[in-house]
Amino acid sequence: MDKISITLEPVDNNRLLNLCGPLNNNIKELEMRFNVEINHRGGSFYFVGAKKNIDIASKALKELYQSTKDNDISTDTLREFLNNPNLLNTSLGDSSLVKDTQFIKFKDYKVKIINKNQERFFKLIKSNDLIFSVGASGSGKTFLAIAAALHYLDLGLMKKIVLVRPAVEAGENLGFLPGDLSQKIDPYLRPMYDALNTIMETRLLNSYIEQNIIEVAPLAYMRGRTLNNSFIILDEAQNSTKEQMKMFLTRLGKNSKAVITGDITQIDLPNAFSGLVHVIPLIKNISGVGVCEFSEEDVLRHPIVKKIIQAYEKKK
């Protein structure tokens, strides 16, 4: 690990506040984007990381500080700055960065990124506010999205996680299940609880749920809401209708991200067109939207699962 320090001049407390953002969120965004650690006192900033990374990050910070003379740095302007391919003569592209073994971290737990599509998925999450992840079941789409949400929460970049699923039966009749509405819906949300329990301790998870920091809910409960400062995940999105998909996408509020995951080969809607199938062609050319496609080669479950998926594909 290398270390460098820089001093931003002229020192102006208002400009420094603008640069760092509320709760240092802009600095945290730079740390995550360039895989460095940044500490500061007044106008002095201290960088720790691979030499190439801290050189790039420090140049970016200097250029951002220059822009504070005339402009406010919002989350949107910061991300636009970081995503500009011409920034600093294109030296800020991800390919210029030194990458350690890739992990998504929450507290002491690390989720390892093990293939190129998973790496691309996480990169899209970092650089976009709306991300679609489409592909074979068992490729880690939901687990990675939840890990990324917890990572953002841990860094203080988000204040809340909202995990959403459509309550659609896979051939079963919801009305015949025992219990009240909450008990009937719970089995559909259980896979999301399983992912959370893998990454975090049950006591901490229960505490976050009680404080409404983490919310797990069926898709129908999203109507009429605006979700600010939230990381929102819609899982099994292939089972949303066109109307539900539009409703969900328009819940996105200020400083929020949404990740939509689904497998269009496993649609359980009885008499409706899948909202996921409908929306992908509409949004894939919109700036700020990313689409990552997984294949059967990315399946991480038992080796026989990959063969089963291939057998079904051949039968089509």
Tell me the longest C-alpha to C-alpha distance in the chain. 70
Average pLDDT, rounded, for the chain:
84
Q: According to the model, what pLDDT value does residue 168 have?
A: 67
Provide the percentage of residues in the chain whose pLDDT is more than 90: 42
What is the torsion angle, in degrees rounded to the nearest 10, for the CA atoms of residue 276, residue 278, residue 282 and residue 287?
0
What sign does the dihedral 255-288-294-218 (CA atoms) show? positive
Fold of 2-96: Ribosomal Protein S8; Chain: A, domain 1 (3.30.1370)
Other CB atoms within a 10 A radius of the CB of residue 231 amount to 26
Domain residue limits, the chain: 2-96, 103-315
215-261 pLDDT, tens digit per residue, is 988 888 898 999 999 999 999 999 999 999 999 999 999 989 999 99
Give CA–CA dist 44/123, Å, rounded.
29
pLDDT, mean of residues 5-25? 91
Give CA–CA dist 307/296, Å, rounded.
9
Q: According to the model, what pLDDT value does residue 170 have?
A: 41
Give CA–CA dist 117/97, Å, rounded.
18
167-209 pLDDT, tens digit per residue, is 765 444 445 445 555 566 677 778 888 889 999 999 999 999 9
249-294 pLDDT, tens digit per residue, is 999 999 899 999 999 888 888 777 999 999 999 998 898 899 999 8
Where are the extended beta strands (E) located within the chain?
Answer: 2-7, 37-41, 44-49, 103-106, 109-112, 130-134, 160-165, 214-218, 230-234, 257-262, 289-293
Give CA–CA dist 308/137, Å, rounded.
11
Is the domain 103-315 a CATH 3.40.50.300 member? Answer: yes
